[in-house]
Structure 1
Amino acid sequence: MGSNIVFSANNNEEVMVLPVVPEIEVNKPQNNEQFETLNNGTINLIGDEGLRTFSIASIFPSQKYSWLKHGSVAEPFKYVDFFNKWRAKKVPLRVVTSRPDGREWFNMPCVIDSFTFKQLRNGDIEYTLDMAEYRFIGGV
């Protein structure tokens, strides 16, 4: 099966499978608070979980390399246009990642904090996406 990273927008109106699966480091903060007391010194109150964040850095290929993920395309500007379009519309994306055995690793709505890209001489586009979890308001 293999790992996959899939982004979708507006309830699967548009879906993009990333052509290359890079390493992903997910930051999952806890909003704890420390207080100084008179008798006990410092105490730590456990807070709510913060918003998860992660960053992806890889390429959008311009050629049909043999190692591209099934369902992806060798049209780098399709990916650039996808992320720019939904970011401009202020629509959160859903990202679904799978483990090497095909089981889901995480599935969450997210927003793009930063999108950096440059076209390489061979036509591929090198990019970095910084993403943050999006929480729907009102029980949606």
Structure 2
Amino acid sequence: MPVNGFGVYITDYSTNRTVELPVNPSELTLKYETDDKSETIVNLGEINRVGNMKLVSVSIDSIFPKKRSSWVSSDKLLKPDEYINWLKNIQSNKHHVQLVVSSTQISVTMTISSFEYGFKSGYADEYAYTLGLKQYREVKYHKVNVPAPPKPKPRPAPPKKLGIGSIVIVNGRLRLDSYG
């Protein structure tokens, strides 16, 4: 556990490996949204239809330092390439992770939706990165047996001979004479 009691941990569910981010981000905000829709009703005006919860998202901006310094919060400092390769491997293999922030209530199952890294201001002793995470929801389904619809009743056969009382469908011109 970090010295100040605050740490950001990511656990890969497939390998059960937990890694603490070496430098705590300056900000960490979870975004909770609903899928609301606005509609206009005649003689009432605009209304808001409350929607379902969207997936929670978070963006982490921080650095992977090459050397231990005073701002490193992790007890175990890995090489920057090890962090980068680990995160890229999780993303490319479509694994989901558990994001936990110690000494808080934040613990969310997520996927890595984006990962950017590189150098800033020409400083090569640390990699700057932005890690985008999005909530993962397990999808469960089961097969439902739907009975086949009943067969329709057969149509009655047309009469073999036309006569009085026969129903006739006319698709063209019709002429009447004295015989009907």
- Contact 1:18–1:72 (CA under 8 A) maintained in structure 2: no
Alignment correspondent of 1:109: 109
SS at match of 1:27: coil
Alignment correspondent of 1:46: 50
Normalised TM-score (structure 1): 0.85
Structure showing greater radius of gyration is 2
| 1:85 and 2:86 correspond | no
Structure 2: tracts of 5 or more residues without a match: 142-180
- Contact 1:16–1:72 (CA under 8 A) maintained in structure 2: no
Structure 1: tracts of 5 or more residues without a match: none
Q: How many residue pairs get matched?
A: 135
- Contact 1:53–1:130 (CA under 8 A) maintained in structure 2: yes
* Greater Cα shift, 104-113 or 51-60: 104-113
Question: Residue 134 and residue 41 in structure 1: after superposition, are their counterparts in 2 closer, same or farther (change >3 A)?
Answer: same
> How far, CA to CA, are the matches of 1:49 and 1:13 in structure 2?
28
Matching of residues 47-86 of structure 1 within 5 Å: 47-86=51-90
Q: Structure 1 residue 70: deviation in Å?
A: 3.4
Deviations 1:49-88 (A, max 9, x none): 1111111111011112133223441411111011011111
- Relative contact order: is structure 1 or structure 2 higher (C-alpha 8 Å, sep ≥ 6)? 1
- Contact 1:34–1:45 (CA under 8 A) maintained in structure 2: yes
Normalised TM-score (structure 2): 0.68
Alignment correspondent of 1:134: 136
